[in-house]
Amino acid sequence: MKQPRVTMEVGNDGVAIITISNPPVNALALAIFDGIEEKLTEAMRRDDVRAIVFIGSGGKFSGGFDINVFARVHQTGSNSVLPDVSVDLFVNVLEDAKKPVVAAIEGLALGGGLELALACHARIASPKAQLGLPELTLGVIPGSGGTQRLPRLIGLPKAIDMMLSSKSITSEEGKKLGLVDAVVPSEELLNVSRQWALDIAGRRKPWIRCLHSTDKLGSLSEVHDIIQRARQQAKQTAKNMPQHQACLDVVEEGIIRGGYSGVLKESKVFKELVLTDTSKGLVHAFFSQRTTTKVPNVTDIGLKPRPIKKVAVIGGGLMGSGIATAFILSDIFVLLKEINSEYLLKGIKAIEANVRGLVSRKKLAHDKAEKALLMLKGVLNYSEFKDVDMVIEAVIENISLKQKIFADIEKECPPHCILATNTSTIDLNIIGEKTKAQDRIVGAHFFSPAHIMPLLEIVRTEKTSPQVTLDLLTVGKAIKKVPVVVGNCTGFAVNRTFFPYSQSAQLLVNLGVDVFRIDQLISDFGLPMGPFQLQDLAGYGVAVATTKEFSSSFPDRTFASPLVELLIKNGRNGKNNGKGYYIYEKGSKPKPDPTVLPIIEESRRFTNIMPGGKPISITDEEIVEMVLFPVVNEACRVLDDRVVVRASDLDVASILGMSFPSYRGGIVFWADTIGANRVYKSLQKWSEVYGSFFKPSKYLEERATRGISLSAPASISSGARPRL
């Protein structure tokens, strides 16, 4: 592994080129800050240096402060390792330098990387560079002057938008906004930057120290209004996350008391925020997401991914059309197969609508959309399957139909072809029973809508070859999904872990707890909606089918609630027919429907589990825990059964598949912040009162009693067992 280093080369023109080198993204590790300070000091001292240019090696300026240092703070609980660069280096040595410094930006300039560029006296960028301050996604705020210099360069509204949304902009946008002084072709970047630096030294170009400028900030009353609006919006969009309001506080401080005060406050708040649970959760989620593609005995045995250029999708329904959309958007040719022209046309129209929908929401350029649609061909038979690299079956959940399709495609496709199914419920061994090529069978479980949801569960059986798993991991990344490798079991990782979620909510309702109170508390906890609104959204047919499926696989831990059947009997089907637990009116938020209450009463009479016939008295905290601890309990079984490679994969799957709040780090990480012992004791207590649904799993019991975290690798716990 290459060591992080900063080098300096002084040209005959008197320009010192300082290069940051820390592959793969030139993260600003502590050694890089030391190197920058050392080289800048040397450049200031040397008489042969008239001006300085910063560049990053390998076509990237910098991906920002080294996030590994945050992880170290989280492990030790001390923020003393965070460097004091904001004033000492960025203001005193760099911005207030006696020689001009220019940032030559190619590729990434994110977080601390962009802040380094902002402290320079000019910025020249190559086209398509990515400029952004994404610190809030890590639970912190920009900590090296970004909150002060960005508003001063591009104005307050756009700066707040960039920081609060964490979205980056291109160099072209940066030029329009005043963030970038010039955009030049890559091959001219260094020369133009050198000349620019010399021009500043010769006073032919302005020497701008933007921390002190105020011309783009507007009047104090305008500032006040913009910040107030941003605060209100952040209250809605960033519930439970302190960094958004903190960022606005710091911006405001700098505008009222001046940039230097702003930088001081920013530095203090940044260091405090690194220590928060929010930052711990988000940094854990960042690294976990990048670890899912490291799979022992797959990605570490010297295999090379094979190219996947042509994919066939069988079935053009909701899932099939979404999957096909995801591939064509990434320039992979798709054959969409249907059984008749009516269904085929429907499938193609759905794909066109998916693609054009992205254009109308400004997520995709018009020409890219048209290019993507050229990558699609509809077919009614297998005659063009001779050269496909992968087939993904996405037909209805019917075992004999899937078995027939797999037997057919084995015959029609080339011997290297991956045979994948998008089933969410059926055992892969059963689907492939009539197929000889068991090593090529794999699950590609997308989440709906498949062209938008980022998670891809790659389901492998004992026979799936490592090569096939690797190929799917690679193509999964190519189509911009986060692939997580999971074992073959009912519900795989996400649906299995979360099946107790709606079950426990049903149990609580039958114990007399108000549905709308449960939903409100769960959404306050951070999920986008509560279990009942989710049921409304999915339609009750889904709830009936999944409950049936899980109750037959895991009868010991299902709760038989008649409520959904009663709702269906009363003509309700959730959002689909506008009649659910909520009233759905166009253009307004769902409103609790009081007419559902008598149906709930009927369910309670039927189950008759309220102690003494009276609703239980329960705190808000207990409600959240009674809904989520059974999910943790199932997560423990998933870990025990080795359905996932590591606990953090389940964290990623819970965040991306179930929208578990990323700032809580994922389901297992969150449980560990509470402590295995507390989860265990609560479940044990409830199982004594309310029955086996809450019975703690062996894994949880063992970890709780031995004081081991739930996420610790299996070798720390019981003896190693073969993976699923």
Taking the least distance from each CB to ligand 3HC, the nearer of 138 and 679 is: 138
Q: Nearest approach, Cβ of 66 to ligand 3HC (angstroms)?
A: 4
Orientation angle between helical segments 531-538 and 540-553, nearest 10 degrees: 110
Q: Is 625 in the active site?
A: no
Enter the tokens of residue 132. 């952004």
Taking the least distance from each CB to ligand 3HC, the nearer of 67 and 419 is: 67
Q: Is 457 in the active site?
A: no
- Choosing from 37, 95, 135, 393, which is the catalytic residue? 135
Beta strands in 461-571 (DSSP E): 482-487
Taking the least distance from each CB to ligand 3HC, the nearer of 100 and 143 is: 143
CA distances from 662 to 264, 606, 658 (A): 29, 38, 11
Taking the least distance from each CB to ligand 3HC, the nearer of 274 and 417 is: 274
Q: Give the interface segment with ligand 3HC, choosing from 136-144, 238-246, 403-411, 417-425 (CB under 6 A).
A: 136-144
Helix (H, G, I), strand (E, B) or coil at 717: coil
- Choosing from 106, 115, 625, 634, which is the catalytic residue? 115
Q: Nearest approach, Cβ of 21 to ligand 3HC (angstroms)?
A: 14
Burial class (CB in 10 A: 0-12, 13-18, 19+), 251: buried
Q: Nearest approach, Cβ of 208 to ligand 3HC (angstroms)?
A: 21
Among 138, 273, 635, 700, binds ligand 3HC (CB under 6 A): 138
Among 54, 65, 382, 699, binds ligand 3HC (CB under 6 A): 65
Q: Regarding beta strands 5-10 and 15-21, do their DSSP bridges make them parallel or antiparallel, or are they unpaired?
A: antiparallel
In terms of Cα–Cα distance, which of 499, 587, 490, 572 is closest to 536? 572
CA distance 246 to 237: 15
The footprint of ligand 3HC on residues 657-696 (CB under 6 A) is none
Among 63, 347, 432, 476, binds ligand 3HC (CB under 6 A): 63
Q: Nearest approach, Cβ of 585 to ligand 3HC (angstroms)?
A: 39
613: Cβ contacts below 8 Å, ≥ 6 apart: none
The footprint of ligand 3HC on residues 91-130 (CB under 6 A) is 108, 110-112, 115
The footprint of ligand 3HC on residues 262-291 (CB under 6 A) is 290
Q: Give the interface segment with ligand 3HC, choosing from 60-68, 185-193, 386-394, 406-414 (CB under 6 A).
A: 60-68
The footprint of ligand 3HC on residues 20-39 (CB under 6 A) is 24-25, 27
CA distance 186 to 320: 41
Q: Nearest approach, Cβ of 517 to ligand 3HC (angstroms)?
A: 37
CA distance 132 to 176: 15
Helix (H, G, I), strand (E, B) or coil at 680: helix
Helix (H, G, I), strand (E, B) or coil at 282: helix
- The answer to whether the Cα torsion of 88, 92, 95, 101 is positive or negative is negative
Question: What are φ and ψ of residue 378, in 5° steps?
Answer: -90, 140
Q: Give the interface segment with ligand 3HC, choosing from 57-65, 426-434, 500-508, 708-716 (CB under 6 A).
A: 57-65
Taking the least distance from each CB to ligand 3HC, the nearer of 143 and 254 is: 143
CA distance 192 to 287: 37
The footprint of ligand 3HC on residues 421-480 (CB under 6 A) is none
CA distance 50 to 226: 41
Q: Contact, 303 vs 469, CB < 8 A?
A: no
When CB distances to ligand 3HC are compared, the closest residue is 111
Give the interface with ligand 3HC as residue ranges (CB under 6 A).
24-25, 27, 63-68, 108, 110-112, 115, 134-135, 138, 142-144, 146, 290
By annotation, the residues acting in catalysis are 115, 135
